[in-house]
Every structure is written in C-alpha cells, then in structure tokens.
Amino acid sequence: MLLQIALRQKSSALTTLVTAAAIALTPFSAARAQAKGPPVLRDTETEQLLREYTRPILRVAGLEKQNIQMVIINDGSFNAFVADGRRIFVNWGAILQSETPNQIIGVLAHETGHLAGGHLSKLREQLATAQTQMIIAMLLGAGAIAAGSTRSSSAGNNGLANAGAAAIAAPQEMIRRTLLSYQRQQEENADRAGVKFLTATQQSPKGMYETFKRFTSESLFASRGADPYLQSHPMPAERVAALQEFAGSSPYWNKKDDPALQLRHDMVRAKISAFMERPETVYRRYPQTNDSLPARYARAISTYLHGDLRSALTQIDALIQVQPNNPYFYEVRGQALLESGKPAEAIPALRKAVALSNNAPLIEMLLGQALVGTENKAYTDDAVRILRAAVAREPEAALGYTQLAMAYGRKGDYAEADLASAQAAYLRGDNKTARELATRAKTRFAVGTPGWVKADDIVAAKPPRN
C-alpha cells in the first residue's frame, strides 16, 4: 500500500489528505521527536532474507542499482509500504503472519510496483495541484461569503453567503474524490506490476492473492455500506477479484516455494515471535511437543530472554550441533552471554558468527561490544579495528559509534573518542550533544585533517532524516 489514508469527515477534507500524506512520506519524524529514534528493528538474519526476497524483483523492475533498502518496523500489525522512493518498510507483523515466503514476496512485489511506477512523486504532484485548486476555490467562496454578509446586513438576505459556503464545499468534495480515485488507481497498477515482476522471476503470484483475499475476509464487515468513491484503496472484493483474474493466468500460479527457503522463512518467523511476543504466546505457537528446528529456535531465544541462561545455552548448543555453520545460532549464543553480563564468554561465539556471516556489520558491532565490555586493554586494538569496519558499512548504526568511542577512550585517543561520540549522538537525534562533542573534537584534531573535517561537518549539519 502506498499510503493509508482514512478520511471520515467531509469538512477540511483536502487538509486532512495533505496532512496524512505528509506524515506517511516522513514516517518517523514524530517517533524521533517522542522516542529519540524511529521504531525500527535491526536483525541481520531477517534483513538478509528480505534482501534475497526482493533482489530478483528489483532487478526485473529496473531498480537493482537504486540501492533500495529493506526496513523492519517495530509493529505487530500486517503492513508494508513505501514512503521515500528508496526504502521498503515492512512491519515485523507482516513477516510473522506470512506463512510462506511467497506470501510476503507477493507483498514486496506490490510495493516494488509503487516504486517502479514513481507513484510517490506523482502523488505529490496531484496533492500540489489539488492544494492550488482548493486555495482558488476557498478564495472565490470567501469572496462570495463576504459579499453576502455585506448585503444581508443591509437587505436581510444571506443567500449569497450560503452560495459562497457551497462554493467552498463543492470543489473540496470533488477534489477529495478525485485524489482518492487517483490513489485507488495507483494501488491497482501496483497489483498488476507486482504480478508482472513475479511472473518475470518465475515466481507464483498466488501468495499475493492469498494475502489480499485474507484481508478481504477480515474487512468485509468494515467496508459494508461504505461509499466506494470515498476509499483510498479499491474496495476489497473488487480488488481481489481483479487480482485473481490477471494473477490466475500466470504459468507459475501453482509453483511452490523451495523447501530450504521455507525453512529459512520459518526460522525468521520463529525468531521474530521469540523476541517480540510474550513467552506464553511463544510457547503456544511452539509447544514442547513441536520438535522442529524453528520451534526449538523460538524456545531457546525466549528462554534466554526471560532469565534462564543455562537452559538457553544448552538449547542453543543443540541447535548448533544440527547446523554447525549457521552464523545466527552463534550470534544468539553470544548475545545471550553478553546480555547476561558475560562479555568474555561471548567473544568466541561472536567471532564465529562474524566469520560465518561474511563479516556482517551488525554482528561485528556485537563482537566489538563484547571486546569493549571485558575492560581488557589487550582487546582494545581489535575492538577498534572491528568497529571501524562495521561503521564503515553501517554508518547509521549509533551502537557501533558508541562502542567505538569507548574503545578509543580506553586507548587514550580522545579526539577520535569525541568524534565517535558525536556521531553516535547525531544518529540518536541528540543534535545539541552531537555539536558540543564535535566542537570539542575539532580542538583535538589538527585543522584540515580527516577527523577535523568530519567533526566540522557534524557542527554544521542539519538533523539526520530517516
């Protein structure tokens, strides 16, 4: 879905629409102000799987070189959207509720359809045009109201004033319906583009159809009696019927997901459940009678998260015996030890995870955190090296800069420590602290050196946008 806009009131309709669009186009601005950061989840295993899901779709859509990023939103509802032309946002709830890879891949194909169609920029143009039309209508209507008020005061007749009010309301309603109709058409176009991309990559559009059909069943009561011309998305039954017609003709309709991919999908769903849901919910989803690898994975994570480290390590080690080259099992083992106050014991598992994951930067940051957390100066140079490599590939991860600042401080390199601290504060949205630290860092670096230039950039920078 490009934007979700619920317009319940007929008054100030364009203002409502423009406001909703502005929020959706900068989805984390309010969250940053309230919580000092966007509601984003980071996980190497999940992000890697989503990248693999989208890579062939982006390629056939002509977007392979656009560096489109996958962003996981900390929200348990089923939703995915595009908002800025360079990222696809997916709620963790959408991943958890997708029973097959094909179901979430179909949703991602639909969102890619929005990107490939340039729907965001076109919607902005429509909003700008509509706003101009509304201003003109309001000025004309206001003039009529003023004239009517003048005449009514002298002649006791307010007919012209009423006509002026109608002159404002009628164009407003027409413009709103036009905008919503335009958005419904964009959704239909994205559906068709998604099916086209899936067919070109020899994947089934059945998962996409199944997902939208499920939403149709869930929303039938809510949409009963609704005016179809006041909906920002096509009426559910009509949309699914149209989707079934052109998706059902795909030669790959009945193609199944590869079993190995299904297992990876189930592992990620289990991981999300363990981290994001209450333990009783996790155990209902994955009871002890379920001996599958995803179920064991979920229970092991949930066990460590809720305090039983010894039992969790036993369960994780059993998983490693089954898949000794799975980097994420070592990552979870290291994370469990690190978060239990045992950084030195976490290091071997995290080194193994880094090696098996081809130096995944988020896992490198965990390793750097463990090295710094030991307070053993023998690890300091290693921590600096690893963390510098990690932030070079993940420059927007505040954790890496925070740990790097601590490592530099241990080395006595206070210029680099101040600079890293400033970068961490900047990424957290604490611009005042970032400028103060960067200003101090400038006094420690020689003028014109790379460190001085980076610090100067932070002093002069505007707040980061997500």
Find all residues with CB under 8 Å of 350, minimum gap 6, and list them. 330, 331, 334, 335, 338, 363, 366, 367, 370
Average pLDDT over residues 329-354: 97
Average pLDDT over residues 123-144: 50
Distances (CA, A) of 90 to 76, 211, 431: 10, 14, 28
pLDDT per residue as tens digits for the range 233-249: 555 677 788 888 888 99
Q: Distance between CA atoms of 267 and 250, rounded to whole angstroms?
A: 29
Region 415-437: what's the mean pLDDT?
95
* Confidence (pLDDT) at 22: 25
CA distance 407 to 411: 6
Span 281-329, pLDDT tens digits: 999 999 999 999 999 999 999 999 998 999 999 999 999 999 999 999 9
CA nearest neighbour of 429 among 456, 405, 461: 461
156 secondary structure, DSSP code? S
